[in-house]
Amino acid sequence: MIMRARSVLGLCVGAAFVAAPWVLPSFYVGILAFAGIYALAAIGLILLLQAGQVSLGQAAFMGIGGYVSALVSRAYGIDSALTLVLAVAVTAVIAAAFGLMTLKLRGHYLPLATLAFGIATSGVFTAWHDVTGGASGLDKIPSLGLFGHVITDDRFYAQLIWIVVLLAVCGVNRLRTSRVGRAIATLESHDGMARSFGVDTTALRVKVFVLSAVLAALAGALYVHLLRFVSPSPFGLSSSFKLLIMSVVGGPVSGAGAVLGAVTLESAQWGLQDLLARWGASGNLEVIVFGILLVVMLLKFPRGLWPTVEKRLPAPAARSRDGAGLPMRRPDTKPGEVLLDLKGIGIRFGGLQALADVDMVLRRGELVGLIGPNGAGKTTLFSIISGLQRQTSGSVKLFGEPLPRSHLIVRNGMARTFQHVQLVPEMSVIENVALGAYWRTRAGFARSLLALDASENQQALATAQAALVRVGLAAEADLPAGSLPLGKQRIVEIARALMADPQILLLDEPAAGLRFSEKLMLVKILRQLQADNVTILLVEHDMELVMGCVQRLVVLDRGRMIAEGTPHEVQANPAVIAAYLGGSRDKAA
Amino acid sequence: MDTALFLLVDGLTNGLVYALLALSLVLTFTVTRVVNIAQGEYVMLGALTLADLLQGRFPGSVYLLVGGLALCVVLDARRWRSDWKGALLFAAGMLLAAVGAVALAKGALALQLPVVAMMLVALLLVAPIGVLIYRFTVHPIPDASTIVFVIISVGVSMSVQGLGLLIWGASPYPVDPVASGGTLLGPVFVPYQSFVILVVALASMGGLYLFSEYTLVGKALQASAMNRLGAQFCGIPVAKAGGLAFLLAAAFSAISGMLLAPLITANYEMGFMVGLKGFVGGAMGGLIDYPFALLGVMMVGGLETTSAYLASAYRDVLVFGLLIPTLLWRNARQRAEAR
């Protein structure tokens, strides 16, 4: 295998960090060790930030890890490498419980809940004097050891810390380009889209939160065994803020950002202290200058330091996308079989009856158009069919079964696109498309972190590449999705839906905003899909396009179905003409 | 029973002080999307400036104000080349403002004004610092993400607190209440200061309400809060609206500091914890809803005094621990409404 320039560079920097404790003067070894510990906890925060969550309680999880490991190893004389594992497990359980309770919170509630959790936890460390030793803390904590071999050399300890940090950086970066990472990137603002492609977003949020807390707990345990002393002060609110500062200053896009942030801030802090002490300035000047430095740094680099550094580095090796794709589903097809059956669908938002008594069937191999004037309830009906909204009356049957929960629908063979394009703009086109295969692949956190997902990921990317070729966007595969014009973004949405290997495809206004040539491409794709026996339900405003390619039309107006039939029949239907041109509509109302 | 009533009065008094702070946080957030962690520092500046004025010292916040004005001129340096007349005018204006601030402080000290007038002077000295902070930290990057602004405001908070220590030192400053003594209301003794707090807090909130509902500038502020882009298209200078929001927010926080100072002893690090409690209250309303923010701070105030009485060691644990269920309830309610 040929090593890319970037990997070589990464290895060199990593080796330098691991070797540094043996070369530096002992004062700096301590700083390096603490910087490593903070970097580890900050990596956890970066993972959270990537999922669109902000935690102000990261130091509390460090504290729980630190206290559990310190107290158990001190009281029972158990090897601290084992208590460290225990500490991580205990923190994971607490984080899972807290996550399950609070991750439903939206907007500012989650930072607030973690803030409250952080303050309450550090309050417990101080107030539970009998166990934790209160504010003055506990000493005589054993150093890190296994089977009686205890680390007594701080240089070796610092080296160990940095090995853990670098492994975490590699793991998190690996995660980013994996199946799970693609799903995590959607969590910030595309919850419904992620669910429609089979991502159990609630479970995924809890898992990200737990993983982030686990990294914090590991950092906390390493901290107390390094210091051989435990007290509440390093696990308070100011440390949580410090970790958040490190992640944001470093740049919350990559695990390397955490390292950069931690090293920059720790060295800035120590350097300032040293410099100002030499000039004989009073102690608090350091805080002032540090605060100003922080503000200036963020004004200059609002996206963090890492993106600026990364621009000067050689490009990373893309993950392989050669070889065979994922296996396709081979359904036993009975033409004309009813796939989707809606009966008496109604939905009410407060006083507004948005839909009432809608009956509709979709048979295998059909291309059905759903049309109606603005506000007719088309998009609402789509949301109900794809499980993102629940009807207040009536029933939806998919393949003869009641509609399952929204993230399971895609497994049964129904995928959709969105009227308002829902791509992750920073992610490349091919990664966005690969998200469509979420349910067809299996690699979870463990396999992605340990880089055991290579062959599956390769298959997924190969399939995504094939899907892009199929819709004519192969050349744009590596561009950020947000950089494409709207028309192409819509086509990317179709490619992503195709990745889910659907039997039914729901297209929500795919032609809106498309240029003429793009519309021709769309029609070509639609015909090709029909030839492949994919059943399609199409919502569209472009009458020419709809009339030209569908076999059957369903017309909605003001939440009710007013007509159904072939394009010809519908065009001649007086109720439809009235609905569109406003004729007898006002009289009827 | 009496104890419960006493705790209630005490809690409500604290709650009202936090309420002013929560108001300023909501105001800043809605107009500029800045979750201002540094808001509590204006509380500290307000309290210590008032303490200085009442005890006959030259108020230290004037140094901050003058320093900030000077920095404004420095940041404006590039304009000298292209438009030296404008730059000169700007620098002269800043100089005038600085001289005015010093004269105001000196004059107030020489005249030994009554407490209420001194509060007004302190307000005039502290509130403009809010605009300066806006100019330095938000104005250059109006489109940065919320989290970046959070961290920037942490940096501001650190610097201002450090400067506070540099100017005032670590010793606490007692401030006399506007009105000493109190009265028996039924079985409970209520200090007059509580009434003063009630009146000032209500007057400030009422003033903000009247300002935003009945003046054009206030309406422009509301428009920028509701939809920045839309407001911009209507010709509202959104950047100026942001500065105004920071000015008003700093003023409200400074008032809250001046009211709080007699209850707790004012010192350079009082701002952060007070700010946090205001934040907690404000965030209960999602940082956008004034009435819920008020309810939130009242709850925080009540919880705080009650738990301080019942188990003082666990005070913060209880206050913040009880917050989580409240948040869950709030969230569930909000979702039910959305449905």
A238 to chain B, closest Cα gap in Å: 10
A331 to chain B, closest Cα gap in Å: 37
CA angle B235, B236, B242 (to 5 degrees): 150
Residue of B nearest to A245 (CA): B151
Handedness of CA A476, A480, A486, A489 (dihedral sign): positive
Is A120's CB within 8 Å of B150's CB?
no
Is the Cβ of A101 closer than 8 Å to some Cβ of chain B?
yes
Interface size A-B, in CB pairs within 8 Å, comes to 134
Q: How confident is the model at residue B263 (pLDDT cuts 50, 70, 90)?
A: confident
Lowest-confidence region among A137-146, A575-584, B117-126: A575-584
H runs (alpha helix) in A105-199: 109-127, 129-132, 154-176, 179-186, 191-196
Q: How confident is the model at residue A324 (pLDDT cuts 50, 70, 90)?
A: confident
Of A54, A290, A299, the CB nearest to B141: A299
Is B316's CB within 8 Å of A123's CB?
yes
In a shared domain, residues A508 and A497: no
On whether residue A554 sits in a domain, the answer given is yes
Amino acid of residue A359: D
Lowest-confidence region among A528-542, B191-205, B312-326: B312-326
Model confidence at A153: pLDDT above 60: yes
Chain A residues whose CB is inside 8 A of the B307 CB are none
Of A49, A102, A284, the CB nearest to B162: A284
- For residue B127, the model assigns a pLDDT of 94
On whether residue A177 sits in a domain, the answer given is yes
On whether residue A386 sits in a domain, the answer given is yes
For B173-196, what is the mean pLDDT? 79
CB-count exposure of residue A580 (10 Å: 0-12, 13-18, 19+): middle
In a shared domain, residues A520 and A471: no
Interface test with B, best of A287, A296, A300 (most B CBs within 10 A): A287
On whether residue A60 sits in a domain, the answer given is yes
> Residue A145 and residue A152: Cα distance in Å, rounded?
9
- For residue A543, the model assigns a pLDDT of 82
Model confidence at B126: pLDDT above 90: yes
ipTM over 0.95: no
Model confidence at B311: pLDDT above 70: no
Q: How confident is the model at residue A454 (pLDDT cuts 50, 70, 90)?
A: confident
Residue of A nearest to B153 (CA): A295
Model confidence at A71: pLDDT above 50: yes
Interface test with B, best of A297, A299, A303 (most B CBs within 10 A): A299
Q: Which of residues 262-291 of A touch B (CB under 8 A)?
A: 282, 284-288, 290-291
Chain A residues whose CB is inside 8 A of the B267 CB are none
In a shared domain, residues A304 and A360: no
* DSSP SS3 for B179: coil
Q: A543 with A520: CB under 8 angstroms? A: no
Q: A216 with A41: CB under 8 angstroms? A: yes
Per the structure block, which two tokens stand in for B7? 């705790």
Chain B residues whose CB is inside 8 A of the A106 CB are 331, 334
Q: Which of A277, A311, A345 is the last residue of a domain?
A: A311
Is the Cβ of B297 closer than 8 Å to some Cβ of chain A?
no
Chain A residues whose CB is inside 8 A of the B317 CB are 119-120, 123-124, 127
Give the domain range for residue A445.
Answer: 421-501
On whether residue A212 sits in a domain, the answer given is yes
Q: Give the residues across from A536 on adjacent strands.
A: A367, A505
In a shared domain, residues A278 and A168: yes
> Residue B292 and residue B65: Cα distance in Å, rounded?
34
> Residue A458 and residue A179: Cα distance in Å, rounded?
11
* Main-chain phi, psi angles of A330, to 5 degrees: -115, 85
In a shared domain, residues A433 and A517: no
Tens-digit pLDDT profile for residues A328-374: 776 666 777 888 898 888 888 877 888 888 888 898 888 999 988 88
Q: Which of A232, A234, A263 is nearest to A246 (CA)?
A: A263
Interface test with B, best of A54, A55, A109 (most B CBs within 10 A): A109
Residue of B nearest to A248 (CA): B148
Is A291's CB within 8 Å of B160's CB?
yes
For B174-196, what is the mean pLDDT? 78
Tell how strand A560-565 and strand A552-557 pair up: antiparallel
Is the Cβ of A317 closer than 8 Å to some Cβ of chain B?
no
Q: Which of A166, A207, A195 is nearest to A446 (CA)?
A: A207
Buried b (16+ CB within 10 A) or exposed e, B123-153: bbbbbbbbbbbbbbbbbeeeebeebbbbbbb
> Residue B327 and residue B320: Cα distance in Å, rounded?
11
Kindly list the strands in the beta sheet with A338-349, ordered across the sheet, starting from the edge strand earlier in the chain: A352-363, A338-349, A393-398, A401-402
> Residue A14 and residue A39: Cα distance in Å, rounded?
14
> Residue B254 and residue B49: Cα distance in Å, rounded?
9
Model confidence at B249: pLDDT above 60: yes
Model confidence at A286: pLDDT above 70: yes
- For residue A135, the model assigns a pLDDT of 81
Residue with tokens 């942030």: A261
> Residue A42 and residue A38: Cα distance in Å, rounded?
6
Q: A169 with A43: CB under 8 angstroms? A: yes
> Residue B103 and residue B90: Cα distance in Å, rounded?
20
Which residues fall within 8 angstroms of residue B57, CB to CB, at 6 or more apart? none
Chain B residues whose CB is inside 8 A of the A102 CB are 324, 327-328
Residues in chain A: 589
Q: How confident is the model at residue B335 (pLDDT cuts 50, 70, 90)?
A: low
> Residue A370 and residue B212: Cα distance in Å, rounded?
46
Chain A residues whose CB is inside 8 A of the B279 CB are 112
Is the Cβ of A298 closer than 8 Å to some Cβ of chain B?
yes
Of A109, A123, A294, the CB nearest to B331: A109
Segment (H or E) for B52? helix B39-54
Q: B129 with B61: CB under 8 angstroms? A: yes
Q: A369 with A540: CB under 8 angstroms? A: yes
Distance of CA A518 to the CA centre of its chain: 30
Q: Give the residues across from B189 on adjacent strands.
A: B184
The CATH number for A399's domain is 3.40.50.300
Is A102's CB within 8 Å of B141's CB?
no
| % of chain A exceeding 70 in pLDDT | 96
CB-count exposure of residue A158 (10 Å: 0-12, 13-18, 19+): buried
> Residue B253 and residue B23: Cα distance in Å, rounded?
9
Model confidence at A589: pLDDT above 70: no
Is B157's CB within 8 Å of A245's CB?
no
Chain A residues whose CB is inside 8 A of the B25 CB are none
Q: Give the residues across from B191 on adjacent strands.
A: B182
Chain A residues whose CB is inside 8 A of the B276 CB are 115, 237
In a shared domain, residues A403 and A444: no
Chain A residues whose CB is inside 8 A of the B334 CB are 106
In a shared domain, residues A510 and A492: no
B117 to chain A, closest Cα gap in Å: 32
Is the Cβ of A352 closer than 8 Å to some Cβ of chain B?
no
Tens-digit pLDDT profile for residues A16-38: 888 888 888 888 898 899 999 99
Q: A562 or B3: whose pLDDT is higher?
A: A562
Q: B133 with B246: CB under 8 angstroms? A: yes
In a shared domain, residues A84 and A41: yes
Q: Which of residues 20-49 of B touch A (CB under 8 A)?
A: 35
Chain B residues whose CB is inside 8 A of the A281 CB are none
For A112-129, what is the mean pLDDT? 86
Tens-digit pLDDT profile for residues A361-404: 898 888 999 988 888 888 888 889 888 888 888 888 888 888 88
Chain A residues whose CB is inside 8 A of the B315 CB are 123
B316 to chain A, closest Cα gap in Å: 6
Q: Give the residues across from A368 on adjacent strands.
A: A537, A552
In a shared domain, residues A124 and A174: yes
Q: Which of B221, B218, B202 is nearest to B210 (CA)?
A: B218
Tens-digit pLDDT profile for residues A291-301: 898 899 889 88
CA angle A519, A524, A526 (to 5 degrees): 95
Chain A residues whose CB is inside 8 A of the B154 CB are 241, 244-245, 291, 294
> Residue A472 and residue A277: Cα distance in Å, rounded?
64
> Residue A337 and residue A363: Cα distance in Å, rounded?
5
Is B137's CB within 8 Å of A299's CB?
yes
B195 to chain A, closest Cα gap in Å: 31
On whether residue A341 sits in a domain, the answer given is yes
Task: Provide the CATH topology of domain B2-49+122-330.
Answer: ABC transporter involved in vitamin B12 uptake, BtuC (1.10.3470)
Chain B residues whose CB is inside 8 A of the A126 CB are 313
Model confidence at A137: pLDDT above 90: no
Q: B157 or A5: whose pLDDT is higher?
A: B157
Tens-digit pLDDT profile for residues A395-439: 888 888 888 888 888 888 889 999 889 999 989 999 999 999 998
Kindly list the strands in the beta sheet with A367-371, ordered across the sheet, starting from the edge strand earlier in the chain: A414-416, A504-508, A535-539, A367-371, A552-557, A560-565
Is A112's CB within 8 Å of B145's CB?
no
Lowest-confidence region among A55-64, A141-150, A195-204, A216-225: A141-150
Q: How confident is the model at residue A284 (pLDDT cuts 50, 70, 90)?
A: confident
Is the Cβ of B323 closer than 8 Å to some Cβ of chain A?
yes
In a shared domain, residues A45 and A80: yes
> Residue A326 and residue A457: Cα distance in Å, rounded?
10
Is the Cβ of B147 closer than 8 Å to some Cβ of chain A?
yes
Mean pLDDT of chain B: 84
* Main-chain phi, psi angles of B173, to 5 degrees: -115, 115
* Main-chain phi, psi angles of A62, to 5 degrees: -55, -45
Tens-digit pLDDT profile for residues A249-273: 998 888 889 999 999 998 888 888 8
Q: Which of A449, A472, A501 is the last residue of a domain?
A: A501
Q: Which of A501, A534, A550 is the last residue of a domain?
A: A501
For A549-565, what is the mean pLDDT? 88
Is the Cβ of B217 closer than 8 Å to some Cβ of chain A?
no
Chain B residues whose CB is inside 8 A of the A285 CB are 162, 166
Is the Cβ of A102 closer than 8 Å to some Cβ of chain B?
yes
- For residue A113, the model assigns a pLDDT of 84
In a shared domain, residues A459 and A555: no
> Residue A86 and residue A68: Cα distance in Å, rounded?
8
Is the Cβ of A113 closer than 8 Å to some Cβ of chain B?
yes
Chain B residues whose CB is inside 8 A of the A107 CB are 286-287
Is A104's CB within 8 Å of B331's CB?
yes
Measured CA distances, B104 to A250, A290, B61, B101, B124 (Å)? 44, 32, 12, 5, 9
Model confidence at A479: pLDDT above 80: yes
The total of structural domains in chain A comes to 3
- For residue A390, the model assigns a pLDDT of 86
Segment (H or E) for A145? strand A145-146
On whether residue A324 sits in a domain, the answer given is no
Measured CA distances, A400 to A332, A342, A362, A405 (Å)? 15, 11, 12, 15
Is A291's CB within 8 Å of B156's CB?
yes
Residue with tokens 């200036």: A296
* DSSP SS3 for B337: helix
B313 to chain A, closest Cα gap in Å: 6
On whether residue A328 sits in a domain, the answer given is no
Prediction pTM value: 0.86
In a shared domain, residues A14 and A126: yes
Lowest-confidence region among A131-135, A442-446, B48-52, B312-316: B312-316
Residue of B nearest to A49 (CA): B147
- For residue B337, the model assigns a pLDDT of 55
